[in-house]
Amino acid sequence: MQPWHTGRPETLAQLRTRSRVPVWAPHPALPGWTLGGVGWCGDDRAPAAATLLALAGPSPLGGPADLVLVAEEPGTGLGARLAGIQGPDPGDLTAGAPEAKILAAGHPTALWRAPSADDRCAFVGEAMGVWLWAVLWPPAAELVLMEHVNLHDLRYDERALHDLPHGAPSPRLP
């Protein structure tokens, strides 16, 4: 894991050119939410197999909340690590109905609740052929996903890259 505790446009521009998985960001930005950092899994010799984007903002029920969006190839384990569970993947979650739906790159995307540690909640689905994780602190912040969330892949949407308001560094980066 290579965390960059900054969301400066130059850092994001570098990440978008070296990633083979999406770099998900809400666009338009969620009201009152700011970018707190980005990160990726990989080394300097190969494109990133996983990316993350950390956001902070108001919880719908009051108080502060954090959201980390992860895109990763199966077997990478970054989303599971952030969710606080063992193993690299969430397991079979599609037996029941999805609990949230968002737009990812313009496509309706179902998210299922994934196992997580008690101090957070996690949702996972598939978008653009890889896992899409949304991990939120505190658990009541899950209501953020009930709003209209439209994710854009920053690799292809430079407008979304420049529209992200920047905030304090996120404590949620591993």
What is the structure's pLDDT at 84? 95
Q: Report domain extents, the chain.
A: 2-162
pLDDT tens digits for range 79-99: 999 999 998 888 777 778 999
Tokens (6 digits) for 26: 């809400």
One-letter amino acid at 111 equals L
Distance set, CA 54 to CA 47, 51, 69, 95, 144 (Å):
20, 10, 7, 29, 14
- 91: left (phi > 0), else alpha (psi -120 to 50), else beta? left
pLDDT tens digits for range 142-172: 999 988 899 999 998 877 777 788 888 898 8
Q: Average pLDDT in the 106-128 region?
A: 96
